[in-house]
Structure 1
Amino acid sequence: MNEANIDVTQLPALSVPRFVGRDREITALGEALDRPPAVVLLDGEAGIGKTRLLWEFLTSSSERGPRALVGACPPLREPYTLGAVVDAVREGIGNVSGLRLSGLAGALRPLFPEWAADLPPAPEPLEDATAARHRLFRAFVELLSRLDVAVLALEDVHWADEATLEFLLFLVSRRPQPVSVVLTYRPEELPADSLLLRLSSRLPADAHLVRLTLKPLGVDETAAIVSSMLADEHVSAEFAAFLHTRTDGVPLAVEESVRLMHDRADLIRQDGAWARRRLDHIEVPPTIRDAVLERVGRLRPDTRTVLYAAAVLADPADYPILDAVTALPEDRAGARVAEALGCGLLREDGRGQWSFRHSLACRAVYEAIAVQERRAMHLRAGRALAESTLPPVAQLARHFREAGEVEAACRYTEQAADLSTQSGDVATSALLLHNLVTTVALPAEPLVRLVTKIQFQSLPGSDPYSKVIESLRSALRARALTPEQEALVRFQLGRVLMVAGAMEAGRLEIAEAVPRLSPDSLEAARARIFLAIPLGDARPAAEHLRWLYEAPAVAPSIAPHERLRLFLERAFALLMLGEEAGWTEARQIPDDTASPREAALLAIGQTNVAEAAMRWGRYEEARARLARALALADNHQFLGHLGSIASTRAHLDWFTGAWDGLADRATALVGDDDGVRLKDRCEAALVAGLMQLAAGERARAEERLRFAGRDDQQRIEAAAALAQLHLRAGNVDEALRITEEPAEITIRSGIWPRATEVAPVRVAALVAAGQLGKAADLATAFARALGEKDAPAPRASVVGCRAILAEADGQPARAATLFGQAAAAWQAMPRPYDALLAREHQARCLLAAGRRESGLTMLAEVSRRLSELGAHNDADRVTRFLHEHGRGTPTARGRGRPSYGNQLSPRELEVARLLVGGRTNRQIADTLVVSTQTVASQLKSAMRKLRVTSRTALAIRVVELGLVGDQGHPPAGDE
């Protein structure tokens, strides 16, 4: 036969391959779903047939019982909130009328605007994103519970957004679990920190987990696939083996290879069987992508255009939209769409929606489109979709961004981000805004506005700032800005730099912006506060204060919540600078407000004042402020604020000696990188490191303290603790090195509230190095900066510095008196650990002054009380000293009432069960006839014991542990 003259038109048309080789998996899937509630994890590499298996099963079982809802996670850089779940519900049900949904379902309105007539009114907005997301999850669970649906199947979960994964964890922890869940994913593309990996550990006892992994097909199964595509005619064993070797038995690779050989006319009939011709020369592309692109390249130009349009759309689209994106003349479009469907790359679903059969092929085709053609298609897609009855704003944001249509991209991105925020999905909101400002050269006004709205802590990755910083710097380099525009951009650049930790670089940008900012503007007022707060390198306190005291009045037009923010930030800055006027302003902070937005600011403001109160040594004030912050978080469901309150509370408990369970609480906060901000994790790490130092765990303590030093607010105290560790080990030079900069920042600059911990260590290090003059100068500077301020902790620290100097000067009796005064001052706050360390020094000075019996008796008491407190390393040190001097110590008794350890007490369990039932703290308090403060305390205790940091996580954990029975639906309007 003359191969060169083969007529391609004589080759048979190819069919969609038959489903083969998956009988065992189909059976296992059916058995799992026949025993609800089930969670099925179906994994395998790209093209292995996960989607085909799922659809074959659902099709075959559709007549056996309740139907399934199916959605797919799109491979886009910015998914939309609960996108796969929303698509599954939207495609599976027509409307929600007649479902008898409670008022809670009003939370679904932002995601289902087409159901506005049938959904309850939207509930009151929640400022806290975590609470809003939790409410949305509960609304979805209620909806699924009302539907005649047995299975929720989500495909390609390796691409799922954070909100979708959190919802899955929430869903499977509910009792009763309203639907069984089937999830498909590619293990090789699953992020190492994906929440999907936690799913199996979160299942309650009555749910069962089934894992199915699809493996490549064998040679016989490969032959069966090829035969089914060729009208079930026989395929030679040689041909089957050849394809199996080239494709590794991956079904999609087999199909694409056969289609490519068909297009090339590389298939022949020989001896009654299909084989390949020119055996030694046939090349099969090594990847599915290459096979798809070669096949697409062989199509007519108009047919390729249809495929390009479908790839640009990415989401399923109806024919009019697809036709509009192709821009083909009417007399050519219909035939080419049919031809594109016939090539096997596209599919049409039951709703007349067109899309690629496989995301791999879609992405390969998209990347092959020339840049200019791609931009033009995105523009046509955006304009066509914008004419929809309910425009899909997330899709419009992407299309106009890729088309370079700046105004439309900004408008729709902002709308999509706002919708995500309303649903509590700040991660998707931040990603939408971040992608726009870092990929499109925006004018100054929208650039500043959108950067202001980005919540950086919600972005993935370790550095969410650098690209935004570069976009702002690019805007400045363009030199097409008015002076006022340049100032606004520069202010935003400085703000982001400071948030990113580059304090000095940010300060310089903000300082340069201030002269050109409108004097009475919000930006000018905030800029001055940023420059006033003493963060970063050392500057005289007077320089920071000047920014506050020389600030002009803000314009009356500034929104009330922004005015409140400025007031709270000003009070905090004054307190951090050691100004008594800060307390005058702090006393004017209201306990609550009717505005959720203002309440959120108050919760943050009260927490910040509590932190400042700790610096001053006003621990009762700090505790009261934290109680107010917690009450605000409880009353307004600010779940996202709990981590900050908890870390500050842990810090306060360290100071005041409330150490029972503190190490575990702090460690849990450090490890919660999902629910706790880095700043708060650093504060918790400081507490954990200090606890480990007191317990003698030096290596672990160093690790924690170095982590704590990543936050500017904690780095001075962390440096003091590290220096103390080195000083006790005799490494004086390292102690001097570590404390040099913190001493400059706090003492030399006159910013005494941050000097309490570092000053005595620095003085002791200078004394140990023989630099008594410098040590004395430092103590004097500290005392002069403090003046007559009512600040118990710094005042006790000053006395401690003088005691160290007296001891070094050979005056043990005077030193003993001063150490005794310091101990009494510490104890009065109370700050028992520091009081005991001062007593230890006092006792040693008494020994040096010849008062042996008094000194040894005092040391014995110190040893006992250190042991009771939990400072075992220090207690052991004192005990060894006593033994060396011939004095034993009595065995210390543990203190405190018996506890339930890490088990929930009966009342904590009762509160947790009511929480799982969907009740607020106030409703729980009414049920149990206790105060909301008592409920909040019991919930915090339960969170600590179960090592979670949010109400949602506690509810999930309680259900996982089987501590609750079946829970009914939350009462209507339960918020």
Structure 2
Amino acid sequence: MNRRTSEVEQQAGVSHVARIGTPRFVGREAELTQVVRALFASSALVLVEGEAGIGKSRLVRETLAALRTHTAGAADPGAAPVTEPLVALCPPFREPLTLGPIVDAARQRRSDVSGLRLSALAGTLRPLFPEWGDALPPAPEPLSDPGAARHRLIRALAELLDRLGVRVLVVEDVHWADEATMDFLLFLATRPTQRISLLLTYRAEDLPADSLLPRLSASARQVADSSGGQGNVRVTLGGLEPPEVAQLVSSMLDDELVSPAFAELLHSRTEGVPLALEESVRLLHARSDLVRRDGEWIRRTLDEIDVPPSIRDAVTDRVGRLGAEAQQMLLAAAVLVDAEAEPVLAQVSGLTPDEVGPALREAVLSGLIDEDEAGRIAFRHALAARAVYRRAAGPDRRAAHRRAAATLEDKRPVPVARLAYHYRAANEMTQWRRYAEQAADLALAAGDHPTAVSLLHELLAEGGLPASDVARIAQKFPLLSVTGYLRRADVVSTLRSVLDDERIQQADRGRIREQLGRMLIHLGEHAGGVEQLQRAIPDLADSPSDLARAMATLGGRIGIGSLPAAELRRWIDRAASVAESRLPEAERRILLIDRITALLDLGDPAGWDLAAGFPTEQTSSQGTLDLARLAMNTGDAAMQWGHYQDARRRLAIAGDLSRRHRHQRLRDMTLVTIAHLDWFTGAWSGLADRARHWVRLDDEPVMQLDSRLVLGLLGAAAGDDPTAEDAVRSVRDDAARRGIAEMSMESTGALARLRLAAGDVQEALSLTDDAVEVVMGKEMWLWATETVPVRVAALIAAERLSEAEDLVSAFAGGFDDRAIPSTRAALETCRALLAQGRDEHAEAAAAWDVAAAAWQALPRPYSALLAREQKSFCLVKAGEGEAALSQWTEVAQGLAVLGAKKDAERVAGTIQEHGGKKPGRRRAGRRGYGNHLSPREQEVVELLLSGLTNREIAIALSRSPKTVAAQLNSAMRKHGVSTRTALAVLVTQTRFGAMADSAQD
């Protein structure tokens, strides 16, 4: 293209621009003031949102300049001065090194840590900062739990930032941040003390669906509200308006005027996105399409040449106008991604020493790359870097990646994550495997198990590994981290394919099978997991830890196979024997929890004795999380046994510990179990909404099934969900397929009750055939609670009374008067059903009374009310019609208050059939209970007696602390006391007095 001005243009007063400059900061003054003012205050969280090229990074640069040149008093008198911020950048590719952006930023801030007076906790940082090995404390004991390991690492890194004096942390492009980095930011934002202000930039459209950013924002606001801090400042950047477009373009053209028509055209083509504006102006300049006429800049021919529709087109066109050497230099910068010094860039470019200088100057003059204060060179915009990278030919890209890898290998510490990235892109698979495994090892050591899983899975799935490497890589998978992360089905599929490799040695095959089996169980595939464990045990003789774990896991899978409880108990004892003789304390503690859980699942009270002896004083993060896991497992067992108050206490402990130590999956499991407990105890208010939340939880089949069951049961009782029975049936089918025995039994019993109530006796019998056979064959009478009563009712309805009597006799004999309240209530229900089936009306009414009292003592009010309903039928047949009507009226009102609308309407209809008056609707709220405690107040008082604080009670009941405090105040008012202690003493004395009166009677 002719770059000289024509004579015609000169005569018309037209001239071309001689040079083009960097645009000034335009149109964001209000946002800058808002951000700077927030950061001058203490403990602020500033979120800057906007699409690519909208100016987020420019706003950050201007903010940093303002923080450096202004005093705190200039923005907010009396506020603390702001020190030099620490700036981290999240790369556009997944950084396999845990907390990579923060680590790189800290490394740039300081070359060593001597003199920082770091605590022993800082030894955790050794894998992240190997170059500081001489100055860091010794590495602490490794933790097997990913949540504990990550939390310890996060605390150590936070301490490092505190010692470095960081008061403002800037993290750009958090939509690319790894999960560990987001966890770290969440930790910083919610610390009650030593808060660091955060300035985060991100693209909302690129945020992962499960991003922690919304949670971080909400948590920071809660902390700010409670402490009086600054709280959240959210800035959303949009496109510039036409007048601002004119200002920006003018700033690039020596502040000369820009024609309104030109500004309007640029705005319409770029929507005011600053990067698109800048690139378009530079392209116009390169094409000589930008001219000055009569004192203002215009397009030469507005109708002929169109502004490029995308930044990529603009960058591609600009790069194409550069020399081949400059293009090669730009490709080197795009391949490196991170900012690097000139010598590194020169080596990666592949240019000769004579070519480097001119090529670099031309590339810098293009405006695409820039040099920072440390002399490092990088693209000014990530979009431009990607455009350059994509336009390059494949062989050229691979060659540049090979040169990048060769250059970076000389760095210390060795950047294994970047080397893995470059060798993979260069298709150098042997070297990629070497560095990918090293990166996975670093991630494991630092507690970043999701990243480790991703790398290890990629190594196995890629193929080509030597036989000796296959087993080693497979055994590195951190089991617990697979649950809740990544595409777990893909990981399982990959491990299965590894087992098909005939090169794997027998011992290695056993270890891989053991790990695969436990992984399948965590995924809710119990049957498949048990099969793998059984096949693994013969190959694990030389691995006591793996052998004990496999045995303990098998002993707890009581729902799979035909082994009776006694045989399963032997598996558990064998695992304990191996653990006690050969394993270190930490592993014995984990296996002890497995043994306690298995024993309680078997209905063996020895599990409670072992749980009582578990050491509660734990000083390490791993030990504390072991306590949380024990509390969760025993809380679930206590719920199955019918120790509902104890279950709430244990689950409250589990929820609190898992929350404080950020073990999200354990906390989710605890909350789902509390929701199920709420179904049993009649705490149905708001329960459906909570269950729906957990139903939507992706990749957690056990939690989803549990929540679907609760939803189905609630819908069936209320009668307002026509799909409720189908939901219960689907849970039953899915649980049976997966081998999740407890859930299969409960859903089977619930479905059989629904079919029996609908008059379908045969299906009720068919549904319970296999379930009761399993209960009796395995001697698992704990499962009889949900299945045997409905089976007895169906047998009586089918006029098979003798079979029902035999079943109840076997139930009573197998139960052997164990201290399992839920099973005791179920047995009393069966006895009442038999008396009713024999037409022994008075005896049946008394038996139903006993059953109702047993259910209410748990408390399980729904079952108690249904038992009292049956008692009334027996009273009518015994000639006590008035007592029956009175009882039915109370039952109907109780069911209505509970939320069992369908059942309440059925009982109301029964009352009318027997000549009674349909009961009126009972008022909700305090007035309905008078001076007696409401069910919700009673729950709060029960947990108070267990020694829980208001906060722990709130967690256990899924209520707010304010609601719990209000309900305790109401309970104190009704009892005429003014303190929690007085309330506890009065309730306890009242109960002892009632027990004494009962004993005298």
Deviations 1:440-481 (A, max 9, x none): 765422332232356023426xxx312212322443455443
- Report the equivalent of 2:48: 42
| Matched-pair contact (CA < 8 Å) for 2:653–2:952 | no
Question: Which residue, 472, 489, 492 being the options, matches 1:446?
Answer: 472
The two structures have a TM-score, normalised by structure 2, of 0.74
- Report the equivalent of 2:69: 63
Matches within 5 A, 1:113-124: none
Q: How far 1:358 moved relative to its partner? A: 1.4
- Report the equivalent of 1:838: 867
- Report the equivalent of 1:408: 434
The SS at the match of 1:62 is helix
Tell me whether 1:76 sits opposite 2:93 in the alignment.
Answer: yes
- Report the equivalent of 1:190: 207
Tell me whether 1:760 sits opposite 2:789 in the alignment.
Answer: yes
The SS at the match of 2:21 is coil
Query: Counterpart amino acid of 1:73?
Result: C
| Matched-pair contact (CA < 8 Å) for 2:756–2:794 | yes
- Report the equivalent of 1:153: 170
The SS at the match of 2:477 is helix
| Matched-pair contact (CA < 8 Å) for 1:14–1:259 | yes
- Report the equivalent of 2:749: 720
In 2, the alpha carbon distance for the partners of 1:627 and 1:175 equals: 22
Query: Counterpart amino acid of 2:745?
Result: I
| Matched-pair contact (CA < 8 Å) for 2:17–2:253 | no
Q: Mark the CA change 1:438 to 1:265 in structure 2 (over 3 Å): closer, same or farther.
A: farther
- Report the equivalent of 1:569: 594
- Report the equivalent of 1:252: 275
Question: Which residue, 331, 334, 337 being the options, matches 1:308?
Answer: 331
Matches within 5 A, 1:703-714: 712=740, 713-714=742-743
Q: How far 1:688 moved relative to its partner? A: 7.5
Q: Mark the CA change 1:538 to 1:283 in structure 2 (over 3 Å): closer, same or farther.
A: farther
User: What do you get for the CA RMSD once the two structures are aligned?
Assistant: 5.4
| Matched-pair contact (CA < 8 Å) for 1:69–1:151 | yes
Q: How far 1:26 moved relative to its partner? A: 3.6
The SS at the match of 1:455 is helix
| Matched-pair contact (CA < 8 Å) for 1:843–1:856 | yes
Query: Counterpart amino acid of 2:382?
Result: S
| Matched-pair contact (CA < 8 Å) for 2:419–2:432 | no
Question: Which residue, 491, 508, 519 being the options, matches 1:496?
Answer: 519
Deviations 1:869-924 (A, max 9, x none): 8878767765664565456789863676699989x99x99xxxxxxxxxxxxxxxx
Query: Counterpart amino acid of 1:46?
Result: A
Matches within 5 A, 1:232-251: 242-251=265-274
The SS at the match of 1:451 is coil
Q: How far 1:45 moved relative to its partner? A: 1.7
In 1, the alpha carbon distance for the partners of 2:583 and 2:240 equals: 67
Q: How far 1:303 moved relative to its partner? A: 3.5
Q: Mark the CA change 1:788 to 1:359 in structure 2 (over 3 Å): closer, same or farther.
A: same
The SS at the match of 2:170 is strand
- Report the equivalent of 2:929: 893
Tell me whether 1:939 sits opposite 2:975 in the alignment.
Answer: no
Instruction: Give aligned-pair identity as a percent.
Output: 43
Q: How far 1:128 moved relative to its partner? A: 6.5
Q: Mark the CA change 1:28 to 1:630 in structure 2 (over 3 Å): closer, same or farther.
A: closer
Deviations 1:180-232 (A, max 9, x none): 54332223223455443356655234426544333323455445545554566
| Matched-pair contact (CA < 8 Å) for 2:151–2:661 | no
Tell me whether 1:358 sits opposite 2:364 in the alignment.
Answer: no
Deviations 1:540-577 (A, max 9, x none): 53797399289797596554433444454345335434
In 2, the alpha carbon distance for the partners of 1:829 and 1:497 equals: 34
| Matched-pair contact (CA < 8 Å) for 1:665–1:947 | no
Deviations 1:86-117 (A, max 9, x none): 55555557777777777777776765666677
| Matched-pair contact (CA < 8 Å) for 1:846–1:854 | yes
Q: Mark the CA change 1:99 to 1:480 in structure 2 (over 3 Å): closer, same or farther.
A: closer
Matches within 5 A, 1:432-581: 433=456, 437=460, 442=465, 443-453=469-479, 455-459=481-485, 464-477=487-500, 479-518=502-541, 521-534=544-557, 539=562, 541=564, 545=568, 548=571, 554=578, 558-577=583-602
In 2, the alpha carbon distance for the partners of 1:714 and 1:315 equals: 51
Q: How far 1:50 moved relative to its partner? A: 1.8
Q: How far 1:866 moved relative to its partner? A: 6.9
Q: Mark the CA change 1:377 to 1:137 in structure 2 (over 3 Å): closer, same or farther.
A: same
Matches within 5 A, 1:205-224: 205=225, 206=228, 207=230, 209-219=232-242, 221-224=244-247
In 2, the alpha carbon distance for the partners of 1:220 and 1:603 equals: 60
| Matched-pair contact (CA < 8 Å) for 1:670–1:682 | no
Q: Mark the CA change 1:196 to 1:279 in structure 2 (over 3 Å): closer, same or farther.
A: same
Q: How far 1:47 moved relative to its partner? A: 0.8
Q: Mark the CA change 1:307 to 1:512 in structure 2 (over 3 Å): closer, same or farther.
A: farther
Q: Mark the CA change 1:51 to 1:760 in structure 2 (over 3 Å): closer, same or farther.
A: same
Query: Counterpart amino acid of 1:608?
Result: N
Q: How far 1:244 moved relative to its partner? A: 3.9
The SS at the match of 1:183 is strand
Tell me whether 1:349 sits opposite 2:372 in the alignment.
Answer: yes
The two structures have a TM-score, normalised by structure 1, of 0.76
Q: Mark the CA change 1:505 to 1:809 in structure 2 (over 3 Å): closer, same or farther.
A: same
Q: How far 1:79 moved relative to its partner? A: 6.5
Q: Mark the CA change 1:384 to 1:803 in structure 2 (over 3 Å): closer, same or farther.
A: farther
Matches within 5 A, 1:312-351: 312-351=335-374
The SS at the match of 2:200 is strand
Q: How far 1:55 moved relative to its partner? A: 1.4
The SS at the match of 2:524 is coil
The SS at the match of 2:504 is coil
Tell me whether 1:52 sits opposite 2:58 in the alignment.
Answer: yes
Deviations 1:781-813 (A, max 9, x none): 766875786655335434534543554565545
Higher deviation after alignment, 241-250 or 549-558 = 549-558
Q: Mark the CA change 1:44 to 1:651 in structure 2 (over 3 Å): closer, same or farther.
A: closer
Higher deviation after alignment, 832-841 or 172-181 = 172-181
Matches within 5 A, 1:644-683: 644=669, 648=673, 657=681, 671=693, 679=702
| Matched-pair contact (CA < 8 Å) for 2:635–2:648 | yes
- Report the equivalent of 1:922: none
Larger relative contact order (CA 8 Å, sep ≥ 6): 1
- Report the equivalent of 2:966: none
Query: Counterpart amino acid of 1:51?
Result: S
Q: How far 1:46 moved relative to its partner? A: 1.0
- Report the equivalent of 2:823: 794
Q: Mark the CA change 1:350 to 1:707 in structure 2 (over 3 Å): closer, same or farther.
A: farther
